Amino acid sequence: MKFVTAASMAILLATPALAQQHAPPSEVLAVHDHVAAVSADRIEADIRTLAEFGTRHTLSETESDTRGIGAARRWIFDEFERISAECGGCLEVMYISDTISGTARIPDPVEVVSVVAIQRGRIDPDRYVVMSGDIDSRVTDPLDGTSDSPGANDNASGMAGVIEAARVLSQHQFDGSIMYAGLSGEEQGLFGGQIVAAHAIENGWRIKGVLNNDMIGNIAGINGVINNTTARVFSEGTRAVETPEEARTRRFTGGEVDSPSRNLARFVDRTADQYIPNLDVMMVYRLDRFGRGGHHRPFNAVGYPGVRIMETNEHYDRQHQDLRVEDGRPYGDTIDGVDFDHAARLTALNVAVMAQMAGAPPFPANVTIEGAVRPSTTLSWNAAEGDAASNLAGYRVYWRLTDQPQWQWSRFVGITDTFTLENVVIDNYYFGVSAVALDGSETPVVFPGAAGSFGN
C-alpha cells in the first residue's frame, strides 16, 4: 500500500497544469433519466407482438401480413419509422440484405433481410455504437420453417429491447451515431450479422462497439436457480496478430489476455454498477457459450469490438424446442417464460452504455507506451482536433494489476497527448487511456497498441 500511495502522490504532483484542467463530472446525470425512461410495459407489448407472428424462422412465410419472418421484419421497419416520426425524422431506416444458399441450414436460395435504423451523430456521424437483436426464431428441426415458433425469449426479448432503446435515445442528440439493428438468419448461421458487417466495411462505418442482445428475458434456469439481478457479458480475447511488432506489443501491454471487446465488456460492467440498480454483470471471458453462437461473432471476425449481453441462467426446455408437453413437462419458447422487468433492466443497461459511448469524444488513437527499465510509465496518443474536439474535456489514464479483471486506478489528465505515471513501474500493471466528454461521457479504455478497432 505504501507503493500505491506514493505513486498516487507522485501523479498528483507530476504536472502542475493539471490543477488548471478540471475533471468532468464523475457521472452523466442524463443517463439516469435515460435508464428511467425504459418501459417494461412497452417491451412486453413488443415481445407479445413478435411472438404472435407464429414463426419468424428464416425459411418461413414472407408474403403474409400476419405470419412469418416477412411480416415480422416489416412490422419492425414500421416501428422504427414511427419512432423516427416522433423525433422529427431522426432515424434512417433501411433493409440490408443478401441472398444465401447452399448451406446446411439454407440449402435453397433465401433472401436474408435485416432491419437497421441509424440515429446520426451531430459531430462524428461515421462513428457508431450498435445494439442488435435477432428477428428470427426456430424449433427443434433447424429446417422447419412452418411449425409454430414464438421465440418469445429467443429472441423477441432482445429485438424488443432494441426497439425500446430506439424509443428512448431517439429523443436526444449525441456526438456519435447509434445503430439499432434487427438481424436475421441468426439461427441458420449468423448470416444477418455477416451481411451487415460487410455492409459496414464497404461504407466505411467506424463501429466502436456492438452490443448483441440475445435472450435477455429469462430469470429461471434449468439448473433451478431463479435470479433477476445478474446478466452475463461474453467477450472474446485477442484475435490473430499480423506482424512481429504487433505480437511484441501484444505480449507486453496485456494483449495476450485482453482485447477491445474485453474493454467494452469492462465498460458494460462499470456502467451497470454506476447506473443500473440491482444489476450485477458477470463478465465471461469467452466468445460465447460452448457449442453456441451469437450475432456479435461476425462483427468480431472482421475486427469490430463486440460482446453478447444475456441472461445468466438459461432454460434449455425453452430454447429451440417444438411446442409440446411430455410427461407433464412443457417445452417451447413461449411468452410465459419471459420476465419483462428483467428484459427492461438489461435494455436499460444497453441504453446507458450507448448514451455514454455516443456522447463521448473520439476514442484515443494510436496509443503507445514506454517505460522499460525505468521507474515510471509514459502513455502517448493522438489527441482529437478541430470539431471532433469540441466536446472533449480531456483524457483519463487507467491502470490495474495484471491479475485483476477490472480497472483499479485512474487519473484524469486533461487535454494532452502524453502523460507519465511517476513511480508506477510498467512491468507490474496493465495500462490504457479513455477520452472524456464535458458532461462526463466516456469511451471504453483503449489499450496501447490496440487502436486498430478502437482508434479514432
Q: Is the dihedral of CA 73, 74, 75, 81 positive or negative?
A: positive
3-state secondary structure of 325: strand
Q: State yes or no: pLDDT of 243 exceeds 50.
A: no
Mean pLDDT computed over 375-383? 97
Mean pLDDT computed over 5-29? 58
How many Cβ atoms sit within 10 Å of the Cβ of residue 78?
A: 12
Q: What whole-number percentage of the chain has pLDDT above 70?
A: 90
Task: Mark whether 329 and 196 lie in a shared domain.
Answer: yes
pTM: 0.92
pLDDT reported for residue 19: 37
**For residues 273 and 230, what is the distance between their CA atoms, to the nearest angstrom?**
11
Take residue 290 and report the three cell numbers written for it: 460452448
The DSSP bridge pattern shows strands 124-134 and 110-119 to be unpaired
Beta bridge partners of 378: 370, 420
3-state secondary structure of 96: strand
Domain count within the chain: 2
Contact 195, 86 (CB under 8 A): no
Mean pLDDT computed over 405-420? 97
Task: Mark whether 449 and 373 lie in a shared domain.
Answer: yes
Task: Mark whether 349 and 417 lie in a shared domain.
Answer: no
Is 261 contained in some domain?
A: no
DSSP one-letter code for 140: S
Q: State yes or no: pLDDT of 9 exceeds 60.
A: no
Q: State yes or no: pLDDT of 415 exceeds 80.
A: yes
**For residues 419 and 411, what is the distance between their CA atoms, to the nearest angstrom?**
10
Identify the domain containing residue 143 by its residue range: 38-236+286-359
Q: State yes or no: pLDDT of 3 exceeds 60.
A: no
Measure Cα distances from 365 to 152, 215, 387, 389, 446 in Å: 41, 34, 16, 13, 8
pLDDT reported for residue 256: 56
CA angle at 361 for the pair 358 and 363, rounded to the nearest 5°: 95
Mean pLDDT computed over 215-236? 97
Take residue 293 and report the three cell numbers written for it: 453462437
**Start-to-end Cα distance in the chain:** 36
3-state secondary structure of 21: coil
Is 16 contained in some domain?
A: yes
pLDDT reported for residue 253: 54
**Does residue 7 or residue 133 have the better pLDDT?**
133
Exposed e or buried b for every residue in 400-411, given b needs 16+ CB within 10 A? beeeeeebebbb
pLDDT reported for residue 452: 36
Report the run of H or E that residue 252 belongs to, with start and end. Answer: helix 244-253
Q: What is the pLDDT of residues 316-348, one digit of tens each?
A: 999 999 999 999 999 999 999 999 999 999 999
Task: Mark whether 350 and 293 lie in a shared domain.
Answer: yes
Contact 275, 267 (CB under 8 A): no
Contact 213, 131 (CB under 8 A): yes
pLDDT band at 21 (very low <50, low <70, confident <90, very high): low
Q: What whole-number percentage of the chain has pLDDT above 90?
A: 88
Q: State yes or no: pLDDT of 241 exceeds 70.
A: no
Is 254 contained in some domain?
A: no
Is 244 contained in some domain?
A: no
Q: State yes or no: pLDDT of 221 exceeds 80.
A: yes
pLDDT reported for residue 247: 52
**For residues 434 and 392, what is the distance between their CA atoms, to the nearest angstrom?**
11
Average pLDDT, the chain: 92
Mean pLDDT computed over 78-84? 98
Measure Cα distances from 398 to 138, 216, 273 in Å: 44, 31, 18
CA 172 to centroid of chain Cα atoms: 19
Amino acid occupying residue 114: S
pLDDT reported for residue 244: 52
Q: What is the pLDDT of residues 355-376, one digit of tens each?
A: 999 999 999 999 999 999 999 9
Task: Mark whether 308 and 413 lie in a shared domain.
Answer: no
Q: Domain containing 386 — which CATH number?
A: 2.60.40.10
pLDDT reported for residue 237: 86
- Of 338, 359, 380, which closes a domain? 359
